[in-house]
Amino acid sequence: MKNGVFITFEGPDGAGKTTIINMVANEFKDAMLTREPGGIDIAEQIRRVILDKSNTKMDPRTEAMLYAAARRQHLMEKVKPALDEGRVVLCDRFVDSSLAYQGYARGLGIDEVFTINQFAIDQMMPDLTIYFDIEPELGMQRINSNKGREVNRLDLENLEFHQKVWEGYHILLNRFADRIVRIDASRTLDEVFTETMKVLNERLKQRAL
Ligand code: TYD
């Protein structure tokens, strides 16, 4: 029986998502912080294939199914056991990434990608999703100025692709208006963090999740 709280964090590349999540996890010491593939061996192996820069021939449906497969393994091995124990789970990216990147930006269709993901997640949708919103141009600028950052296969996509990712997320914001909360990530890290904590504290207090 699920009785924990499942919170996911989403956003286009360069939104500062990962930095903010680490700051949030510092405040919620009892929460479990994870990210797909979350150190789960099988999921890590799948992910390596997806993000390998030499896999230029990868078909978009193959990519979508591999993400769903990695997601399933991470969910079953790590997320579900923590929720069953009643813990708060903070997860960096989940199903909405697939809907925005594969469903919308790659053009597979949000509904089609949702269908294969429903098989993978089996009703286990997040209780709350924080979406860090950043205009694609600004996101790309931030990535390019962060020289130490590892470049993966999806980072190599052009601005047009990232523009579509952003549009995809905005479709999801409308579609899942009760679940997804938008936070403007073009501001300073401190401002974004403060607003994120405010949203999380309000929602957790209400437990109206
Ligand atoms: P990740 O390593 O989590 O990078 P980031 O720090 O940007 O979150 O994700 C790698 C890339 O994979 C990122 O560009 C988003 C993409 N992605 C998808 O296309 N579909 C998915 O289902 C997921 C989880 C990620």
The yes-or-no verdict on residue 51 having pLDDT over 50 is yes
For a ligand 1 pocket test, name from 154, 155, 156 the mutation site with the most ligand atoms within 8 angstroms of its C-beta: 154
In degrees rounded to 5, what are phi and psi of residue 54? -85, -10
For a ligand 1 pocket test, name from 17, 101, 130 the mutation site with the most ligand atoms within 8 angstroms of its C-beta: 101
pLDDT tens-digit profile of 102-144? 999 999 999 999 999 999 999 999 999 999 999 999 988 888 8
pLDDT of 144 = 83
Cβ of 18 closer than 6 Å to ligand 1, yes or no, is yes
Cβ of 197 closer than 6 Å to ligand 1, yes or no, is no
Burial 133-170, CB ≥16 within 10 A → b, else e: bbbbeebbebbeeeeeeeeeebbeeeeeebbbbbebbe
Residue nearest to atom 25 of ligand 1 (CA): 97
Residue nearest to atom 6 of ligand 1 (CA): 18
Q: Quickly state the pLDDT bin for 1 (edges 50, 70, 90).
A: low
Cβ of 13 closer than 6 Å to ligand 1, yes or no, is yes
Q: Quickly state the pLDDT bin for 156 (edges 50, 70, 90).
A: low
- Report how far ligand 1's centroid is from the alpha carbon of 196 (Å): 20
Residue nearest to atom 11 of ligand 1 (CA): 154
pLDDT of 154 = 64
Residue 174's domain comprises: 5-206
Average of pLDDT values for 25-31?
95
208 versus 94: which is more confidently predicted? Answer: 94
pTM: 0.93
The number of distinct structural domains making up the chain is 1
CATH number of the domain encompassing residue 61: 3.40.50.300
